[in-house]
Structure 1
Amino acid sequence: MIAPLFSVCASSPAVRALIGDSPVRLYPFGQQDDNVIYPYVVWQNVSGAPENYLGQRPDVDTWALQVDAWADTPDEVIAVATALRDAIEPHAHITRWGGQERDPETRRYRYSFDVDWIVKR
């Protein structure tokens, strides 16, 4: 009952080349390890709903996700976001390119974007 963000991105050689493959550093929000290795990506469900009909049960669920890439340099975080974009777009719609910022505490760079995903049941 979640969007297949992990499986889609983890199957991309370009994504794995940047965020690793043992493990793939793509975590549901709040579940990344305390021993952080950069770059990495976190994601979370922002909202979701079944596609309701009057005469039948829903056949799809829609999900809105927020994806945040983190890296040591601006170029690295843009490369990760680009690889994620290329992996996701054949399966879902990117609906917002969000903020790019440097965290004042960690001094690492973040690139944020939103994805709308329709998942067949």
Structure 2
Amino acid sequence: MPPLFTVCAANAGVTALLGVGTTRLYPSGDAPEDVAKPYATYQVLNGVPENYLGEPPDTDEWNIQIDIYATSVNSANDVQNALRRALENVCHVTRLGRTGTEPSTKLRTTSLDISWYHPT
């Protein structure tokens, strides 16, 4: 797995919005209940080894979805932009999600997908 959290937690633009020390970026959709807003979660959509003839893979391609939750559309978009700026130096952003409202919490949401080639 690529160092998604490490890269994001080291970026001043991300930590300005998601917090320093305890950066509110959680794996597998596991954000704590009553967490401060905004926050983001990420999940692996799939991983694919770079297969070669005659030797084992030395790189995997990871496709990861990041979901953002905020109290306003502007806040959700600000987090999306900060994450994008932090990650575009190390991977490819492959999808920018639409803004919506999460039905049960009424939080504003958006998302992005990334494709990250990472050595095994």
Give the TM-score category using the shorter length.
over 0.9
Distance 1:104 1:112 in 2: 16
Superposed CA RMSD in Å reads 1.0
Distance 1:71 1:98 in 2: 14
Runs of 4+ in 1 over 4 A off after TM superposition: none
* Aligned residue runs from structure 1 range 19-58, under 5 A: 19-58=18-57
Give the letter for the 1:74 counterpart.
V
Q: Cα deviation per residue 1:65-96 (whole Å; 9 max; x = unaligned)? A: 00111111111111100000000000000111
Are 1:62 and 2:61 matched, yes or no?
yes
Alpha-carbon shift at residue 44 of structure 1 (Å): 0.2
Count residues with an aligned counterpart: 120
Which residue of structure 2 aligns with residue 104 of structure 1? 103
Distance 1:56 1:26 in 2: 36
SS for the counterpart of 1:17 is helix
Task: Compute the TM-score of the two structures, normalised by the length of structure 1.
Answer: 0.94
Percent same amino acid among aligned pairs? 40
Distance 2:29 2:59 in 1: 27
Change (3 A) 1:8 1:96: same
Which residue of structure 2 aligns with residue 94 of structure 1? 93
Distance 1:95 1:30 in 2: 20
Task: Compute the TM-score of the two structures, normalised by the length of structure 2.
Answer: 0.95
